[in-house]
């Protein structure tokens, strides 16, 4: 009996070992396969602050929104979360507008802004649920992040923060660990190919220190212990209207076209300490590619799947590599031609 039990235990242990080995091998195969192709771009743009004196945070997020939309990412692939609607604030002397400079060069609110989460919908819970795909049944498509394993995702956050946290609505906060865990869930669920995490807040670098998921490039407007400063005041409204880091990021992006060869390495240098009055932090150890070889449009632009059809000429399909003659078949017409009715008045004459 003892021998039989020992044999059975050994057999079960062997099955368990083989199962674990098989699962590990499958996981390694998944890790190799899941990140093969980049097929689409998404952007999650979040302003976490309310109240009129935080006008600049709304201008920050709308500046990035303007840029990614101009470079080709459609509204259907942009999730815009704004905690307060400054364009409709009764203190705004220019209703339905949000400017990010005192000279009013660019109305970043525009004529076709699509806000997906507004006001008290901008919460930590909704933000984490959005990233991880754990939204309630019946959530409108416009409020879902429908990414997949081929998606490059730009995550931009702006608001008031501190060492290891970012405030939402001045009533709650998301911690750096919660942010890291949400991104890990995205990776495990194959919800991104690569992620560019960008945050403009005080002590911004603390928000990406705990990241541990692969294929994430992160940048913050200030290091731990530093404040992120505003750029300038608009006397007409009496408040700061944009933060320094986002101001210079937008200045850079305004000169980028969809066909641009600018790289992420260039973008990471847009705000040196001499103009930012803070030290921009970068974390690239989780990112598998060299930012010098990553086009900025890989995150801020659009990727559209295109099928190149062969050119048909003289019953020949001409390809780049060779010329192959194939018969060209024509489909029968679906409808036959019916002549117009006879004009009987003409016949009678």
Instruction: Clarify whether 232 is annotated catalytic.
Output: no
Whether 64 contacts 45, CB under 8 Å? yes
State the Cα–Cα distance between residues 227 and 276, nearest whole angstrom. Answer: 10
Cα separation values, 101 from 24, 188, 241, Å: 54, 41, 7
List 333's β-bridge partners, or say none. Answer: none
Tokens 């952007």 belong to residue: 43
List 324's β-bridge partners, or say none. Answer: 317
> Which letter does DSSP use for residue 68 in this model?
H
Selecting among 202, 231, 271, 276, the annotated active-site residue is: 202
Instruction: Clarify whether 202 is annotated catalytic.
Output: yes
- 113's CB contacts (< 8 A; 6+ apart) are 62, 65, 80
Closest CA to 82 of 46, 107, 113, 42: 46
> Which letter does DSSP use for residue 322 in this model?
-
3-state secondary structure (DSSP) of residue 289: coil
* Cα 305–chain centre separation: 17
Retrieve residue 300's tokens: 């801020």
DSSP string, 206-251: GGTTT--SSSEEEEESS-TT-PPPB--EETTTTEE--BHHHHHHHH
Selecting among 38, 160, 232, 295, the annotated active-site residue is: 160
Retrieve residue 314's tokens: 């003289």
Retrieve residue 135's tokens: 């939204």
- Active-site residue list: 160, 202
């Amino acid at each position: 009996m003892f021998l039989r039990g020992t044999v059975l235990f050994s057999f079960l242990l062997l099955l368990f070992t083989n199962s674990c080995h098989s699962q590990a091998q499958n996981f390694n195969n998944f890790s190799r396969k899941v990140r093969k192709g980049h097929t689409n771009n998404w952007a999650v743009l979040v302003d976490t602050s309310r109240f009129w004196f935080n006008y600049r945070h709304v201008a920050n997020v709308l500046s990035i929104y303007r840029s990614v939309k101009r470079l080709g990412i459609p509204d259907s692939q942009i999730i815009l979360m704004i905690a307060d609607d400054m364009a409709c604030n009764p203190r705004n002397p220019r209703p339905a507008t949000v400017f990010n400079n005192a000279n009013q060069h660019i109305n970043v609110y525009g004529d076709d802004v699509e806000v997906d989460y507004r006001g008290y919908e901008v919460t930590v819970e909704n933000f984490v649920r959005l990233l991880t795909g754990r939204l309630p049944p019946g959530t409108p498509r416009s409020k879902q992040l429908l990414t997949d394993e081929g998606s490059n995702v730009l995550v931009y956050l702006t608001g008031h923060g501190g060492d290891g946290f970012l405030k939402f609505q001045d009533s709650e906060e998301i911690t750096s660990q919660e942010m890291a865990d949400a991104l890990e869930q995205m990776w495990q669920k194959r919800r991104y190919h690569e992620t560019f995490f960008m945050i403009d807040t005080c002590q911004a670098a603390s928000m990406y220190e705990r990241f541990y998921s692969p294929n994430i490039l992160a940048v913050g407007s200030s290091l731990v212990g530093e404040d992120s400063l505003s750029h300038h005041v608009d006397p007409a409204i009496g408040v700061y209207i944009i933060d320094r880091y986002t101001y210079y990021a937008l200045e850079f992006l305004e000169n980028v076209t969809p066909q641009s060869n600018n790289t992420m390495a260039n973008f990471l240098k847009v705000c040196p300490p001499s103009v930012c009055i803070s030290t921009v932090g970068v974390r690239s150890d989780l990112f598998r590619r060299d930012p010098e070889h990553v086009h900025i449009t890989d995150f801020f632009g659009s990727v559209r799947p295109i099928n190149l059809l062969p050119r048909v000429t003289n019953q020949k399909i001409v390809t780049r590599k060779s010329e192959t003659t194939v018969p060209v078949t024509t489909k029968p017409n679906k409808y036959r031609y019916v002549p117009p009715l006879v004009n009987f008045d003409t016949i009678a004459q």
